[in-house]
Structure 1
Amino acid sequence: MAEFAIAELPVGRGILGLCPMPGIAGDYHGDFRRLLRWSPALVVSLTEPAEMATLGIDLGADLVHAPPDWAALPIPDFGVPTAAVTARWAGLEARVCAQLAAGKRVLFHCRGGCGRSGMIVLRLMLLHGEAPDPALARLRVVRPCAVETRAQLIWATR
């Protein structure tokens, strides 16, 4: 697997980042340090709890002692948010938009940093006035694997 990297996109006055789950390639501590150096105001984990547990990591617990805030919005791999998660997204969406309006960085991760992260970032790009096709093309310039399924594309653009 490739080195941990954060793809970034200017959106609004801030920057959205997408990355794989820290530690997925085996160097959790190095990935965690790179994540902190990127200086996000908020980190959002889109993985289900079992995905981190299989690696023996708890990013939320580790971020308790670090500067960025952390939120969990668990979505199944290759999936879209359930109705309950979509309801929770409304509050988190407002929080993310406030960070972007303040010129801050917000980082999203899922297992590979592609489907779930891409879906959420695309939705935020559209909320900030971008048209769907050009937004997806711009997103895929920095993260070619972004938005992996038709269902993810539909959820992001509805």
Structure 2
Amino acid sequence: MADLVIHALGVGGGSLAISQLPGLKGDYKADLDFIRDWKPALVITTTTRGELVDVGAETLGADIQESGARWLHLPIADYGVPDDEFLAAWPRASADALRALKGRGRVLIHCKGGCGRSGMLALRLMVESGEDAVDALLHLRKVRPCAVETDPQLRWAVTGVAQKAE
């Protein structure tokens, strides 16, 4: 049985969700099966390669793609905000996610604990889909109270401006 919990909410006609890193609690295969059963159109991984390796999830991208979903690896340091490489990739990633949501698809974003980085990207997508930032944050935190952990993450999510932690 999977230990993974998918925290989902309706956004743009589809379902946007955040979760922890598959395999974090030790059963990568069960977590992967749980994700496959949820049938996301797109999975966005924000963990670093090292974090994936640490829990035995280094094949996550290939495993997700074998199930028919798209996979994007957009790593962000834990408790961090997007760097220049991420910012260059975000416009296309965002467009893909918003297109999936508008088509009534499912988008899953995960980080290590399913709070900060994944919450930051979920909130950004909610704002980009036209939701008011304050209402979106309140809605997101009803589903996942720990979503968006730092002030710099909140700033990026609502403005798109990445600043280093203070």
TM-score, normalised with respect to structure 1: 0.96
Unaligned 5+ segments in structure 2 are: 160-166
Q: What's the C-alpha RMSD, in Å, of the aligned pairs?
A: 1.2
Task: Quote the offset at 1:117 in angstroms.
Answer: 0.4
Superposed CA deviations along residues 4-52 of structure 1, whole A, max 9, x for unmatched, are: 1000010011110100000001111111111111110111101111100
1:24 corresponds to: 24
Task: Quote the Cα distance in structure 2 between the aligned partners of 1:94 and 1:131.
Answer: 19
1:80 corresponds to: 81
- AA aligned to 1:152 is Q
Greater alpha carbon shift after TM alignment, 127-136 vs 106-115? 127-136
Unaligned 5+ segments in structure 1 are: none
1:67 corresponds to: 68
Task: Quote the offset at 1:3 in angstroms.
Answer: 2.8
Superposed CA deviations along residues 31-75 of structure 1, whole A, max 9, x for unmatched, are: 111111111011110111110011222201212321211110011
TM-score, normalised with respect to structure 2: 0.91
Superposed CA deviations along residues 72-114 of structure 1, whole A, max 9, x for unmatched, are: 0011010011022111011111111111111100100000110
2:98 corresponds to: 97
Paired-residue identity, %: 46
Is it true that 1:41 corresponds to 2:36 in the alignment?
no
Superposed CA deviations along residues 110-133 of structure 1, whole A, max 9, x for unmatched, are: 001100000000011111221111
Task: Quote the Cα distance in structure 1 between the aligned partners of 2:28 and 2:56.
Answer: 10
Alignment length, in residue pairs? 157
